[in-house]
Amino acid sequence: MILRYDGSPAGFLTLAGRAIKEKWRVAAVHRSEGEGDLFGAERCIATDAAFAARVDAGLRSRLGAANRRTLLLALLAEEEGAELALLAWLRLGLRLGPDIGARLADPVVNRVHRLARRTAHEQHRLMGLARFERLAGGAWLARLRPRHNVVPLLGSHFAARLADQEWLLHDVERGCAVWGRDGRWRFLPRIELDELALHPEEAEIAGLWRRFYRSIGNDARHNPRLRQQFMPRRYWSFLTELQGEEGGRPEWRAFKPPAE
């Protein structure tokens, strides 16, 4: 059987809960919705938020919070074919309980942990590489192009860091965002940005930061390979200090705060 779902964590939990409960033999899982086929070999699993919440609570109880986080991180890696491995991992976890986290010699467990580590590594990296610029209305906007779907994982960090500000983290490829204000934050699965100008002082401040960055550089110790290790080239177009080195300055957009 081939299963399809909408690509969201709640969608996968819905799919996993049904597949395990009904003992489906799953050959493949795709992150795209469809109508399924007439003979039942392919099914589209509609997301059921209430059912997904019950599955999630059950996983916390049976596997523990650490293993549940491993599952989420591995899912957000968005690697092709990962869902099939996660289904196998869940079935094994329901037999082993919390001990599944220590079974790294098992190929399925090992793959899930590797996926989770990649996502966690990028999450940690972007806590330091997100660059905010001030908009004309006073809010702050950071645009990101992460390899993995890590923007939903950054909300708590920036809500604490920018507790007295209004801000938006926007994943430009996936079209999702995290919006925060007054120490609270909310994940927005889809947001459309309208054209809006930067704050009048922003260009001057960005220029000062670039000049400072270049003034403290030491040409004798310049190491492009090491810099790319810590600041991969895929992030350069949104790093204030490197604008002009790779692709020029991106076009700026801003947002209308979502209704609360």
| 156: pLDDT strictly greater than 50 | yes
pLDDT for 245 equals 56
DSSP 179-244: EEETTEEEEES---PBP-PBPTTHHHHHHHHHHHHHHT--GGG--HHHHHHHS-GGGGGG-GGGTT
Residue of 87 and 259 predicted with greater confidence:
87
| 32: pLDDT strictly greater than 50 | yes
Give dist(CA 104, CA 98) in Å, integer.
13
Asked whether the beta carbons of 87 and 56 are under 8 A apart, the reply is no
Range 86-92 average pLDDT:
96
Q: Which amino acid is at 202?
A: E
pLDDT for 234 equals 87
Give dist(CA 202, CA 216) in Å, integer.
21
Digit-coded pLDDT (tens) for 221-252: 888 888 888 888 888 888 888 876 544 444 44
How confident is residue 58, by pLDDT bands cut at 50, 70 and 90? very high
How confident is residue 17, by pLDDT bands cut at 50, 70 and 90? very high
How confident is residue 75, by pLDDT bands cut at 50, 70 and 90? very high
pLDDT for 87 equals 96
Give dist(CA 14, CA 44) in Å, integer.
11
**Which residues on neighbouring strands pair with residue 133, listed in sequence order?**
141
Residue with tokens 């947002």: 255
51: helix, strand or coil: helix
Segment among 42-56, 147-161, 245-259 with least mean pLDDT: 245-259
| 112: pLDDT strictly greater than 90 | yes
What percent of the chain is modeled with pLDDT above 70?
Answer: 89
pLDDT for 147 equals 95
pLDDT for 250 equals 42
252: helix, strand or coil: coil
pLDDT for 228 equals 84
pLDDT for 42 equals 85
Nearest to 93 by CA among 120, 112, 116, 77: 112
> What average pLDDT does the structure give for the chain?
88
Range 43-61 average pLDDT:
94
Asked whether the beta carbons of 59 and 87 are under 8 A apart, the reply is no
Task: Find the length of the chain.
Answer: 260
Burial of 196 (0-12, 13-18, 19+ CB in 10 A): middle
Long-range CB contacts (within 8 A, 24+) of 185-190? 185/155, 185/156, 185/158, 185/159, 186/155, 186/258, 187/151, 187/152, 187/155, 188/258, 189/8
